[in-house]
Amino acid sequence: MSPDFSKGVVPAVVQNAETGKVLMVAYMDEESWKKTRETGQAWFHSRERGLWEKGATSGNTMEVLEVRLDCDLDTVLLRVKPAGPACHTGAESCFFNSAD
């Protein structure tokens, strides 16, 4: 089963498989979906960078342990084993800003 890419890209929620912590949200297109499934590493689509492998330059790669799709097939959940922080700031997760 694959996501519905009829609108181009779908959101990909990335979760630490061991802790359950949400690490980041990115987008996937058909190409990044295929690369992720073929390599077992997290690949995404960016309007600025195009196809990119998470951690290719920083070393903070993400080994994909499990892939799930939501009920509408328009969102991907990647359960990963991170090799370092997910956020470009060096934080473990991109979700460190409180809205309160």
Q: Which domain holds residue 71?
A: 10-82
Residue 26's H or E segment, with its range, is strand 22-28
Give the global pTM: 0.94
pLDDT at 47: 87
Say whether pLDDT at 2 is over 90.
yes
Q: Return the sign of the alpha-carbon dihedral for residues 98, 19, 41, 11.
A: negative
Q: What is the mean pLDDT of residues 1-16?
A: 95
Residue 19: Cβ within 10 Å count: 11
pLDDT digits (tens, 9 = 90+) for 29-82: 999 999 999 999 999 999 888 999 999 989 999 999 999 999 999 999 999 999
pLDDT at 66: 98
54: domain CATH number?
A: 3.10.20.810
Q: Indicate whether 34 belongs to any domain.
A: yes
Radius of gyration of the chain from its Cα atoms, rounded to whole angstroms: 13
Q: Indicate whether 20 belongs to any domain.
A: yes
Q: What are the tokens at 31?
A: 């190409």
pLDDT at 42: 98
* DSSP annotation of 96: -
